[in-house]
Every structure is written in C-alpha cells, then in structure tokens.
Amino acid sequence: MTTEKLTAGHNLTSLQTFLLREESKHPHATGAYTMVLSALSLASKFIAARCRRAGLEDVLGSMGAENVQGETQQKLDVIANEALIRALGSRPGVAVIASEEDDEPIILSQDVTGERPYVVLFDPLDGSSNLDVCGGIGTIFSILQHDRRAARVEDSALQPGVRQVGAGYVLYGPSTVLVLTTGTGVQMFVLDPAIGSFLLVDDDVRIPETNKMYSMNSANLGQCDQAYRDYVDWANGEGYTMRYVGTMVADVHRTMMKGGVFLYPPTKKAPKGKLRLMYEANPMAMLVEQAGGKAFSGTERTMDVIPQEVHQRVPVVLGSAGEVDHVLRFLAK
C-alpha cells in the first residue's frame, strides 16, 4: 500500500506545523509570535470543550453582573476570558492584553524596552447570548506590535487596524473552525477533537466577489439612516436574500465562505454602531481584506480609523468587494 493510500483523506498539516513553517521563513524570528498564536489555539480548544458540554456543566446562563459594555455577562464569557488571559499571560512575548470583558487593558510588562513585542486584543466569547440556544458563538482576536513610543504602555493597544500583524476568529459551531491571517492571505483550520489539533483545510481562503445576500438585523432598519434603508430597498428589489445569526463571527464566516455583505449600521440605540473597533471590526476587516474583500465603517476604510479608546464602537459594512461597493454607493449619496 502506498503512503498516499495510508493517509488518504487526512490533512496532515496542523496549525503548529503551519506556524513553524511560517516562522522558518523569518531568519530572525524569536518564536514569540508563534507562542502567541499557540496560546490563542490552546485557549480556544479549552473554550470549545466547555461549549460542547455547556448543557451538562453549570456554565449556561448569566453571572448576574454586567461587563464594561453594559451587557449581562454570561458564565462562559468569564470562563473564556480567564482562559485567554491565563494562556496569553504565560507567554513571554505579550506586553499588553485588552479584552471586551475588562474595563482597562492588562499590562504584563511595564518594561518600555519592549522585549515583550506584542499586544493582543480579543472578544473572548462573541455572541455568547446564543449559547443558551445552542447557536454559533466565537472568539475574535487581533495582534499588534507593541508600540514602545506610546505615552503609556496601555496606549499601545490604541493603534489603527492597518498596524495589525495578525487577526483571526474561532467559530464554535457544528465544528470548531479557526480562520487566521498573519498578513499573507487567510488560512482556515478545523479542530479534530480526536487528536486535539487544528488541521489546515484551506491555505488560501478567498471571499467570492459577489453574492446576492446581505446580513443585518432588519429589526433595526427603522432606526438607521435613510441611506441604509435605501440600500435594503434596492437589494430586496434586486432579489437579494437575507441571512442573520446575530453572532458576528457566524455572520462574517458565512460571508467569507459564500460572499455577500454583513452590515451593522449606526442606530438610534447605538449611534456610533454596536460593534467594537479594536477587537471585532479591525480583526474582521484584516481577514476580509486579506481574502480579497472590503471593510468600511461608514465611508471610511475600517482599518484606517484612528482609535480613541479601547472599547470604542464603529459602524461595520464588510464582505465581497462588489457587494460592499453597492452599499457605499448609497452612503455616498
């Protein structure tokens, strides 16, 4: 029997293999970046395991407290947040951690010489309110290089999206999918629970140019600017279909795989938009652009937005280039 037959149907490139192969392309690499991504992978496997048993362990429901966003914290929000902080906090390359769940960034090193080169920002469990109904939820992360010139160490977390050196999300759905960019295209991995490894299934994810599909919470339409309402009227007239899960990771992943456009416009309730720039819009924008799509916040490219504070919110329009252009045409009027 040939080797090929022995391994037929099994992809044998793990995330670890992929990262070490990428690291080997950089002769001066210290391995710190690989260790950051390895920490994110470990924490997401831990979170996936807890999600899989959510109905069997006491991790459903709320903590009875609110986070800095004024949103009710789910038990698994706290568990996921702790897992990410502990995994990243034990890595020598991480200087600052910023989480949706924590008011202020966590400084792991006051050392301004910057031997700790990275800042990691994340939404530990995006869409966690869907957990109780077994809906798709996810983790979103963004990696910046530590800005040693920042006035305060924590200000290093306030860099525009164009300065990201990595971004990704983990979708905890029927399977656990990691979609990652380190700046040279987008790779997709699926967790094989039998061996506990993320295995490479696509080494060059490209978002389809067009698809007559938009994804937004249509219940908000009455609160949106006329331009968004005009776009939806136009799309409906053109025979577009609408899909919306209510978890950004799930809605963006569908958009990455099938094409279309995902929108969270400003509303009366959220006049700057609901989604957070630093650990939702920016990482998703890097992924979408690396896959050939576009990501805008109003008429400004999302990754050009200069952040003012770590939890700031922005409007989001992202997806297939052709579909985002249709929305921008209405916003420009």
Per CB under 6 A, the segment of 12-20, 122-130, 178-186, 232-240 that binds ligand P6P is 122-130
Asked if 135 touches ligand P6P (CB under 6 A), the answer is no
Pick from 152, 184, 148, 151: nearest CA to 167: 184
| Residue number, 18 or 231, with CB nearest to ligand P6P | 231
Q: How many angstroms separate the CA atoms of 112 and 284, rounded?
A: 29
With CB under 6 A as the rule, give the number of residues binding ligand P6P: 10
Distance (Å, whole) CA 77 – CA 100? 10
- Cα separation, 144 vs 282, in Å, equals 11
In the complex with ligand P6P, which residue's Cβ is closer, 18 or 141? 141
Nearer to ligand P6P, 11 or 217 (CB): 217
Instruction: Please state at what angle helix 75-89 crosses helix 32-52, rounded to 10 degrees.
Output: 160
| Footprint on residues 189-248 left by ligand P6P (CB under 6 A) | 217, 246-248
Give the integer Cα–Cα distance in Å for 262 and 283: 14
Pick 166 or 265: Cβ nearer ligand P6P: 265
- Segments of the chain assigned E as strands: 62-66, 72-74, 94-99, 106-107, 118-126, 137-145, 164-172, 176-181, 186-192, 197-202, 213-215, 241-242, 261-264, 275-276, 294-297, 300-301, 313-314, 316-319
Residue 326 CB, shortest distance to ligand P6P, in Å, is 20
Q: Tell me which of 105, 117, 124, 127 binds ligand P6P, using CB under 6 A.
A: 127
Torsion from C-alpha of 297, 303, 309, 311, nearest 10 degrees? 70
Q: How far apart are CA 119 and CA 328, in angstroms?
A: 32
Q: How far apart are CA 226 and CA 330, in angstroms?
A: 9
Binding residue (CB under 6 A) for ligand P6P from 45, 91, 116, 274? 274
Whole-number minimum distance, CB 255 to ligand P6P, in Å?
11
Binding mask 70-99 for ligand P6P (x = CB under 6 A): ------------------------------
| Shortest distance in whole angstroms from residue 324 CB to ligand P6P | 17
Tell me the closest approach of the beta carbon of residue 251 to ligand P6P, in angstroms.
6
Other CB atoms within a 10 A radius of the CB of residue 207 amount to 26
The two three-digit tokens of residue 150, written as one number:
């920042």
Provide the minimum distance between the beta carbon of 147 and ligand P6P in the complex, in angstroms, as a whole number: 27
Q: Examine residue 312 and tell whether it contacts ligand P6P (CB under 6 A).
A: no
Smallest distance, Å, CB 152 to ligand P6P?
28
Interface residues with ligand P6P (CB under 6 A) are: 126-127, 129, 217, 246-248, 251, 264, 274
